[in-house]
Amino acid sequence: MADGKKLRDIAWKDFKALPLTEKGTYFQGTPPHTLIAQQFTRKQLEELCTLATRIKRINKRRAGANFLKGLLSDKRAMLYFAQPSSRTYLSHNAACQILGLDTMDVRDTKTSSEVKGESPEDTIRTFSSYADMIIMRHPKGGFAERVAWMLAHTGREIPVLNAGSGSDQHPTQALLDIYTLERSFEDIGGVDGKHVAFVGDLLRGRTVRSLAWMLTLYKDVTLHFVAPEALQIGQDILDLLDEAGTKYEVTQDFASVMPVADAIYMTRIQDEWDEEGESSTESSDYHIGAEHLDIIKDTCAILHPLPRRKEISTDIDNDPRAVYWRQMRNGMWIRAALILQSFGRDDEVNKYYDDY
Amino acid sequence: MADGKKLRDIAWKDFKALPLTEKGTYFQGTPPHTLIAQQFTRKQLEELCTLATRIKRINKRRAGANFLKGLLSDKRAMLYFAQPSSRTYLSHNAACQILGLDTMDVRDTKTSSEVKGESPEDTIRTFSSYADMIIMRHPKGGFAERVAWMLAHTGREIPVLNAGSGSDQHPTQALLDIYTLERSFEDIGGVDGKHVAFVGDLLRGRTVRSLAWMLTLYKDVTLHFVAPEALQIGQDILDLLDEAGTKYEVTQDFASVMPVADAIYMTRIQDEWDEEGESSTESSDYHIGAEHLDIIKDTCAILHPLPRRKEISTDIDNDPRAVYWRQMRNGMWIRAALILQSFGRDDEVNKYYDDY
Amino acid sequence: MADGKKLRDIAWKDFKALPLTEKGTYFQGTPPHTLIAQQFTRKQLEELCTLATRIKRINKRRAGANFLKGLLSDKRAMLYFAQPSSRTYLSHNAACQILGLDTMDVRDTKTSSEVKGESPEDTIRTFSSYADMIIMRHPKGGFAERVAWMLAHTGREIPVLNAGSGSDQHPTQALLDIYTLERSFEDIGGVDGKHVAFVGDLLRGRTVRSLAWMLTLYKDVTLHFVAPEALQIGQDILDLLDEAGTKYEVTQDFASVMPVADAIYMTRIQDEWDEEGESSTESSDYHIGAEHLDIIKDTCAILHPLPRRKEISTDIDNDPRAVYWRQMRNGMWIRAALILQSFGRDDEVNKYYDDY
């Protein structure tokens, strides 16, 4: 990765004001941080996907799994989850275990010294003292970036991996989505030229926003945003797509999108919305089930970040086009790839794989 | 293990209606599940006990312990404890660590996505995605069986180990009890022909029910159920013993049973009962202490599933016949044996042991 | 370590009444326990510091880190933290991981069987059943000693490490402070002859009390206790210093101490105190910041047990004399040294280091 710009050479105020893609160039230094979707180039995405698949395959055999466990057995990661999240936590934890990376976790922030009047910066610096990497989830937007910047100003800078901060960024979720699309389209020409439909609550889901951005890195992709008016995708994302020259459609008509979509990305419509009086009939328009299996393409991939509620019927779970369970496991593999890359040891996997 | 019947070939409704021993035949497939006491044959019990002892002995030496840690170092287990239990959790956790099996745990179910409206099945399927085995404790009876059945209908079936579900089954507790009896009677002819007394609250303890059933697999065993009338063993268990031809006695008179018992299995009389007005004099009839050491047999084994309250005086803890602390550690060894067997790697221990 | 006196040969009542240094001789047996600051001799402190530095250096290289992880890979530690403490917990956890020592933890005592009416002794004995060492923190003073004594009366005595009990003892904190002083004075003649100032709340901090005692083991050290009158060091400590012949000064005048101090040990003034009406002006007298950097010695070491509040300005964090962040990491290294020593495997590090 490029190593020109250093976080320690820029003031927080100036850094904070940078546009996202510009910020990203600061995260590719030594050590590399994973903080925002916008820091990735297409080349990096492809390298990560290749690495993830190699790790996944090597792990299938016992000798391979034991080889992987030696890759980071000399390191320790701190999982700091100030916001509860079983599945994101477990997925990262499993990724660490695959690589033999020991983990410590802080999940209940009330037991931390914040109660003793310590600043959040001191708390994080303390936790980072015991580890070689910090994987963090925090309710405050931009907090992970702040941590990376702060650590750059100490004598012990370690990689920071953002496992979700505030409502804005959850880059590893976008990475696992890309990885799932890459794998789904492996035999049909890859992601370029495909139609990807996003369905449900597109307003609040940070997942959709990050993934939409990452898809601008691909050629000739068309995005379809299918949602009730009140939950449609934000204008800022549309502006971004315009700027990147990525085609898109904004619609409430899921039926018209189904037959053309190469991937359908379902999302959960939140409780809050339902309570505001939306009729269940209306929300059922943003649903997929056995009755649609004949309408969608034979090669269509159905994704969902999970947990789901009623937007996907369980009776399509065993259809080969339902990839959301595989998508979940993909998260573990792509995170393992990302963590390994943070320590600059991806070459060891590539070498082992070639000799495999 | 037999591999004829497949969980994926039977509807849940039909499966649920099967008698316990019939259900058990479905759990011995690939992968094998540990769900109910009734799935075990005597041969399997003996194999497990032998395996547990070998693991225990190999673990005594540093090289042996390190050998054991390589047995499952390529695997990960999910410890899903929806019902709090320090000791059952720790015992399974230690068993995993002995075998080098990495663990992840979900102990606070409130942090899980159940709060987001996810079905329990989806939650479990998610957690199982990251692991190669699921060890679970759940307040709902039969839930572990449901999970095993559900996983059989996905493309990723993994072993399910029931660490206690509802009021009905806690098979690994019964296994550790059997293992403790086997070890206690090792030099005096084994479990066959022995008198085993159960004392205390026999109505609500699932431990006693499972162990009583397992003892029907032994020859000429006599069971003595010693309890106040209101807490006596259920008629369903007695019917089961009748059917199996196992002798038993139902009594309130502990004094008469003490001198003939080869094993005394004490249990805790619950709070709820005490509050209902039972006099402490009466409950003291179901107690063992220093004053009884001359009355019981020299070879008698005193067991207790722990935690205890006043039913066993601490002043007999150092008597060689008090095996309840050893019983606790036995749980760790038998669980290690069981987990290893779930992955079909018991032969590696046997081979190492022979060369030892 | 000396092995004459055995905990199992003394009654609890008699043991409890012993003076601290006499108690200490019982903890140096087999297995050795770490329970009170007063059990250490200067020779032992020096050995531990040397061992900690060797571990730290060996850990820098990948091969070295992997060597360290094999040292206790056949053992398991129980981290029993009945009192919440993120940083003490994490520091011990990291120390265990460095040595490959598997850990289990009980941090929420409500999930334990204490709720079922079990005695604390039984609970601890249970937890110790699954492990080869117990690292514990407990709100009750002397509880760790009681545990060590209790385990000595079972057939399975394992090392007990006190990670803080009640208001009296937190020996590993004192060890890490000594280690930090040793390292800070490495090139300027060591701890002997130095002036160490303690500043802030000296009444309630067990840290200061333990460290003051340990400093009596060094030659010609002068202690300066700088605190508002109501928070000054206890007379019992001063008596102890008199007895040991250690020079000290008791003062409210931080300004006069600053230029002569070789080490300044800042402590946090607790909330409770502030609420009792102390003016913020007064507490600001026990503060250090950029404005003092010209006044203190060029070689002065500024320590703080952390977490801090306002007693140290963050703008001196990058001054080389601010060693409190290093002090935090020192805790991890000295604890690793201590744990390794508890298993009698320090020689393996020394041998590896010589061949390094």
Query: What's residue A84's pLDDT?
Result: 78
The residues, any chain, with a CB within 8 Å of residue C205's CB and separated by 6 or more, are C267, C268, C305
Residue in chain B nearest A324 by alpha carbon: B126
pLDDT of residue C281: 43
Contact C325 A130 (CB under 8 A): no
- A317 interface with B at CB cutoff 8 Å: yes
Subunits touching A (CB < 8 Å, at least 3 pairs)? B, C
User: Which residues of A form the catalytic set?
Assistant: 87-88, 116, 137, 170
Alpha helices for chain C (secondary structure H)? 12-17, 20-26, 42-58, 62-69, 86-98, 120-129, 143-152, 171-184, 206-215, 235-244, 254-257, 271-275, 280-283, 324-342, 346-355
Q: Write the burial class of residue A294 (CB in 10 Å: 0-12 exposed, 13-18 middle, 19+ buried).
A: exposed
What pLDDT, on a 0 to 100 scale, did the predictor assign at position B270? 65
- pLDDT tens digit sequence for B92-110: 999 999 999 999 998 866 6
In this prediction, residues A192-215 reach a mean pLDDT of 92
**Cβ contact (<8 Å) for C76 and B94?**
yes
Q: Evaluate if residue B73 carries a pLDDT over 80.
A: yes
* pLDDT beyond 50 at A34: yes
**Has residue A9 got a pLDDT over 90?**
yes
Work out the average pLDDT over B115-131. Answer: 87
Predicted confidence (pLDDT) per residue in B322-333, tens digit: 999 999 999 999
Average pLDDT value for chain A: 91
Inter-chain CB proximity B153 and A318 less than 8 Å: yes
Contact across the interface for C325 and A154, Cβ inside 8 Å: yes
Tens digits of per-residue pLDDT, A299-325? 999 999 999 988 999 999 999 999 999
Sign for the CA dihedral angle at B76, B80, B86, B92 comes to negative
How many distinct helices (H) and strands (E) make up chain B?
Answer: 15, 9
Predicted ipTM beyond 0.85? yes
Q: Is the pLDDT of residue B282 over 60?
A: no
Fold observed for domain C7-169+330-347: Rossmann fold (3.40.50)
Q: What is the mean pLDDT of residues B179-200?
A: 97
Q: How far apart are CA B346 and CA B51, in angstroms?
A: 7
Residue in chain B closest to A102 (alpha carbons) equals: B102
Among the ranges given (A32-41, B274-283, C187-196, C283-292), the one the predictor scored with the smallest mean pLDDT: B274-283
* pLDDT classification of A215: cutoffs 50, 70, 90: very high
Residues facing A196 on adjacent strands: A223, A263
Measuring CA to CA, how many Å separate A251 from each of A222, A266, A295, C11? Answer: 13, 14, 18, 81
- Domains A7-169+330-348 and A172-316 are alike in CATH topology: yes
Which residues in B lie closer than 8 A to residue C113 (C-beta atoms)? 86-87, 306-307
Q: Does domain C172-328 have CATH number 3.30.470.20?
A: no
Q: Do A102 and C107 touch (CB under 8 A)?
A: no
- Which of these, C50, C6, C59, lies nearest to C346 by C-alpha position? C50
Smallest Cβ–Cβ distance between C308 and the set A73, A122, A155 belongs to A122
CATH homologous superfamily of A172-316 equals Aspartate/ornithine carbamoyltransferase (3.40.50.1370)
pTM for the whole structure = 0.95
Range with the lowest mean pLDDT among A115-124, A334-343, C219-228?
Answer: A115-124
Q: Which chains touch C (3 or more CB pairs under 8 A)?
A: A, B
CB C148 within 8 A of CB C7: yes
Across the interface, whether the CB atoms of C90 and A112 are under 8 A apart is answered: no
pLDDT, residue B279, reads 46
CB atoms within 10 A of CB C291: 11
> What ranges do the domains of chain A cover?
7-169+330-348, 172-316
Contacts of B215 (CB under 8 A, 6+ apart): B178, B191, B196, B221, B223, B246
At A5 the pLDDT is 86
- Tell me whether B330 touches chain C (CB under 8 Å): no
**Residue among C59, C97, C271 minimizing CB distance to A102:** C97
Q: In the predicted model, is pLDDT for residue B273 greater than 60?
A: no
- CATH number of the domain located at residue range(s) B7-171+330-346 in this protein: 3.40.50.1370
What CA–CA distance (Å, rounded) separates A229 from A232?
5
Gap between the Cα atoms of B215 and B244, Å rounded? 10
Contacts of B336 in chain C (CB under 8 A): none
Q: What are phi and psi of C136, to 5 degrees?
A: -135, 150
Mutate to test the interface with C, among B67, B73, B86 (most CBs of C within 10 A): B86
**Which chain B residues in 271-290 lie under 8 Å from chain C, judged by CB atoms?**
271
* CA C326/CA C180 separation, integer angstroms: 8
What one-letter code names the amino acid at C20?
L
How far is residue C162's CA from residue C333's CA, in Å, rounded to a whole number?
16
Tell the burial category of B235 from Cβ atoms under 10 Å away from its Cβ (0-12, 13-18, 19+). exposed
* A224: Cα separation from own chain's centroid: 20
**Omega of the bond leading into A307 within 30 degrees of 0 (cis):** yes
Output the pLDDT for position B177: 98
Nearest residue of B to residue C124, measured between CA atoms: B87
Cβ-defined contact of A307 to B122 (cutoff 8 Å) = yes
Integer Cα distance of A220 and B88 in angstroms: 56
Separation CA A98–CA A71 (nearest Å)? 9
Q: Are B329 and C131 in contact (CB < 8 Å)? A: no
Judge: domain A7-169+330-348, CATH 3.40.50.1370.
Answer: yes
Residue of C nearest to A123 (CA): C307
Whether A344 and chain C come into contact, CB under 8 Å, resolves to: no
Nearest CB among C75, C111, C155 relative to B84 is that of C111
Residue B3's pLDDT is what?
52
pLDDT by 10-residue block (mean), chain C, 356 residues: 76 95 92 95 97 98 98 97 88 98 84 68 92 94 94 94 88 97 97 98 87 96 96 94 97 97 91 48 79 97 94 95 97 98 97 90
The reply to whether residue A94 touches residue B118, judged by beta carbons under 8 angstroms, is: no
Confidence band of B213 (pLDDT split at 50, 70, 90): very high
Helix (H) or strand (E) holding B238: helix B235-244
The backbone region for A193, taken as left when phi is positive above 0, alpha when psi lies in -120 to 50, beta otherwise, is left
Q: What is the mean pLDDT of residues B130-136?
A: 97
Residue of B nearest to C131 (CA): B94
- CA A190 to chain centroid, in Å, comes to 19
Q: What pLDDT score does B120 carry?
A: 86
Is C112 near chain B, with CB under 8 Å? yes
